[in-house]
Amino acid sequence: MSLRNIFKVTAIVIGLIALFSGCETSFAENTMPPKALSGILDLRNWDFEKDGTIKLDGEWDFYWNKLLNFSEFESGSPVKTGSIIVPGSWNKYETAEISSGKGFATYKLVILVNEAEQTLALKLPRIFTAYSIWADGKPLTTGGKVATSKSDAIPQYYPKVVTYMPQNDRIELIVQVSNFSHRSGGILESIKLGTEMQIITSRENRLALELFLFGALFVMGIYHVFLFIFRKKNVSPLYFGIFCILIAIRTLFVGEIYIIQLFPDFNWEIQHKIQTMTYYIGVPVFTTFVKSIFPNEFPIKALRFSQLAGCLFSLLVLVTPARIFTVFNPLYQVITVLSVIFIIYTFILACIRKRQGALLFSLSGVFFVLTSINDLLFLSVPFNDYNIPFLRHIIVTGNLSSFGLIVLVISQSVVLAINLSKAFSQVEVMTDELMIANNQKSELLLTLEDKVKERTNELESSNKELEKAYKSLSQLEKARRNLFANISHDLKTPMTLIQGYTEAILDDMITEDEQKRKYLKLIHSKIVNLSNLTNDVFELSQLESRDIRLEPEPVNMKKIKEKLDNKYRHDIESAGLNFLIEILNQDEYISLDINRIERVFSNLIYNAIKHTSRGKITVSGSLTDEYAQFCVSDTGSGISPDDLPHIFDRFYTGSKSRNSVKEGRGLGLAIAKEIVEYHGGTICAKSSINEGTSFIFTIKRNLP
């Protein structure tokens, strides 16, 4: 089946869902219940005991921008704005005075009944968003605080049951309503009238059912979350568990709004935010769950769109009051419809591809989507702002998604049981296979004796090789001890200089502030060098394994010359040596890690100072198109030809080389070699005994 045909089937399924969702109409009824006409509802032919409760739907008298009471109707005939259809919002009422859901009004309905014979009861739903109600001038109840301004009004959703004994065959209901907190205002749901027993029983049954749904969904949600905790490889139980918990919480905030029964003073704004957030978050969580069940069928772009929309709209709920974020509810309902299309598309595609458990899951999923669309239509703008009898006829309640989710939970449990059964069957098969394998293993053990003998001979050969390796390790251990001796020497020299500078200052050999500042800077420089040397011990192995990242930056050759002059001239001249710097191409730039290259110069120059008793130390540098070459040369004692090939070895301690314990240079040259090679270059030394030494290193000019 092509994608185009799949979308056609999806559209047909959604159309059928919209047609039949939430339909509670009894086709066996031969008569329609009476409706209010021009503010009068005639129930004289209605037998509550036989016919049951009735909705006070139809045309109520409507008085816009007026809060009228019974005495005002008795003293005169207030001019009514017109008739308004209940249930429904006043947002689209046909008058120029009403432009939104904000405002206040009075509803009036006259109910004609038989002579008073029994106590009647009214089932009051949510009224948007505050109300007061009277019957024949007697105040019955209030929800929130009705007022003519936002500052005085207090919104509250509080479904109630109130009883009333009619005084005669005429009941005059007056309902004052104000709304300054929601996009829709008015009586959006049906008010029911019946006997006291009928209304109370109906409400208690509904409360019991909603509490059952809450408990069942919440427990199943926690159960699926723990399924994920114990087996994190499969994330679908986590998404399903979170979704069940969200719907369970939502159950407490819709319908009979049980949370208000527990906490009558619960803040309306917070209540409405929680109710809306469970919806806004629930849609992307459910689409993510469907994606985790059928990862190859649900489009990833549709998932990301749903998740992004859910996050943005949830953020809107958090940062704005209900009078603002409820304005955007219709837009999110459109997004929900788009998500539903992709969900149905996924179910169909999964069934076509015969995914495991797809048929059962899809059937229950479609049923859940059906009930969700019922709730969506119940809260939609066309349903509440426009008088559409067709929708009112088939959509009679707005809390069916919890029932649909229960069906989905049951199907999910069945699929889980099927999977567990298959898993146990696979375990049994694998157990049998393991037993066969163990038997084969026992047989193989008998043939292993010959192989053991063969392996024994190989082990003897390996032992000989290990002995050789042990000797090598012993030599390395000796080299390691020598290395620590070298490190101690490298630390001692700058410490001696620091001590000398400090004593000179303390003994008042240096009295001028400028001179003191100069020597303090030198002390600081030595301390920094000591810190760098200590760090080199730890970083050398990281340099060898390339675990340290270089930080290249453009530096011109002139800056390198200035750094060398400022940092080393004093020490070299203090040692009685001349210091020459011959840097070419001073206006050109190279890219390198200046801190690492300075360590190379530091190691080489201090090495030259210690091994040069007279003469000079020269640093030269030049550039080619691809490389930069530097040379540090001295007129010192030189290096033995036998030691020269090994001076860059980390543990080498030749008796006459600059790496000897006496001189302590093995670690510094090894570090210099690693830094240069890390820069894509090479380093070498040229020397003869008593003829000086030259260290030449080349690095890439443009380090990436």
pLDDT digits (tens, 9 = 90+) for 346-356: 888 989 988 87
pLDDT, residue 17, reads 43
Task: For the chain, give the mean pLDDT.
Answer: 82
| Span 602-616, average pLDDT | 90
Read off the tokens for 276: 């809306």
Residue 220 identity (one-letter amino acid): M
pLDDT, residue 234, reads 84
Residue 98, pLDDT above cutoff 80: no
Greatest mean pLDDT among 6-10, 364-368, 663-667: 364-368
Residue 123, pLDDT above cutoff 50: yes
The answer to whether the beta carbons of residues 612 and 606 sit under 8 Å apart is no
Read off the tokens for 450: 């010959």
pLDDT, residue 22, reads 39
pLDDT, residue 468, reads 81
pLDDT, residue 665, reads 46
pLDDT, residue 29, reads 40
pLDDT tens per residue across span 640-687: 888 888 888 765 655 444 544 334 445 678 888 888 998 889 999 999
Residue 67, pLDDT above cutoff 90: yes
153 pLDDT band (50/70/90 cuts)?
Answer: very high
Where in the sequence of the chain do the CATH 1.20.1070 domains occur?
3-18+205-421
627 pLDDT band (50/70/90 cuts)?
Answer: very high
| Span 363-374, average pLDDT | 81
Tell me the HSE value of 51 on the side-chain side, using a 13 A CA sphere. Answer: 17
Strands 40-42 and 103-112: parallel
Q: What is the CATH number of domain 3-18+205-421?
A: 1.20.1070
Residue 409, pLDDT above cutoff 90: no
Residue 274 to residues 257, 376, 508: CA-CA distances in angstroms? 12, 17, 76
The answer to whether the beta carbons of residues 317 and 276 sit under 8 Å apart is yes
Lowest mean pLDDT, pick from 380-384, 401-405, 649-653: 380-384
CA angle 264, 266, 269 (to 5 degrees): 135
How many angstroms separate the CA atoms of 372 and 588, rounded? 71
Residue 249, pLDDT above cutoff 80: yes
pLDDT, residue 412, reads 74
Where in the sequence of the chain do the CATH 2.60.120.260 domains occur?
33-190
Cα dihedral 484→485→491→494 (10° resolution) = -150
CB proximity list for 130: less than 8 A, separation 6 or greater: 142, 143, 144, 145, 146, 147, 153, 154, 155, 156, 177, 178, 179
Residue 697, pLDDT above cutoff 90: yes
Where in the sequence of the chain do the CATH 3.30.565.10 domains occur?
525-700
Greatest mean pLDDT among 139-143, 400-404, 463-467, 493-497: 139-143
Residue 133, pLDDT above cutoff 60: yes
Residue 431, pLDDT above cutoff 50: yes
Return the percentage of the chain with pLDDT > 90, whole number.
Answer: 34
pLDDT, residue 437, reads 81
pLDDT, residue 114, reads 84
- The β-bridge partners of 105 are 64, 177
Strands 616-623 and 578-583: parallel
pLDDT tens per residue across span 169-228: 899 999 999 999 888 899 988 999 999 999 999 999 989 988 988 998 899 899 989 988
Architecture of the domain delimited by 33-190: Sandwich (2.60)
pLDDT, residue 662, reads 37
pLDDT, residue 430, reads 87
| Span 450-476, average pLDDT | 77
Return the percentage of the chain with pLDDT > 70, whole number.
Answer: 83
pLDDT, residue 655, reads 46
Residue 94 to residues 83, 100, 250: CA-CA distances in angstroms? 10, 12, 34
Residue 305, pLDDT above cutoff 90: yes
How many angstroms separate the CA atoms of 558 and 298, rounded? 62
pLDDT, residue 11, reads 44
**Residue of higher predicted confidence among 66 and 26:** 66
Greatest mean pLDDT among 273-277, 476-480, 661-665: 273-277
Q: Where are the alpha helices (DSSP H) in 546-593?
A: 557-574
CATH superfamily, with its number, for domain 525-700: Histidine kinase-like ATPase, C-terminal domain (3.30.565.10)
pLDDT tens per residue across span 585-598: 888 999 999 988 99
Q: At 539, is the secondary structure helix, strand, or coil?
A: helix
The answer to whether the beta carbons of residues 628 and 701 sit under 8 Å apart is yes
pLDDT tens per residue across span 518-567: 878 888 887 877 776 676 667 666 676 677 788 899 999 999 999 999 99
| Span 358-373, average pLDDT | 82
Strands 103-112 and 58-64: antiparallel
Q: Peptide bond preceding 129: is omega within 30 degrees of 0, i.e. cis?
A: yes
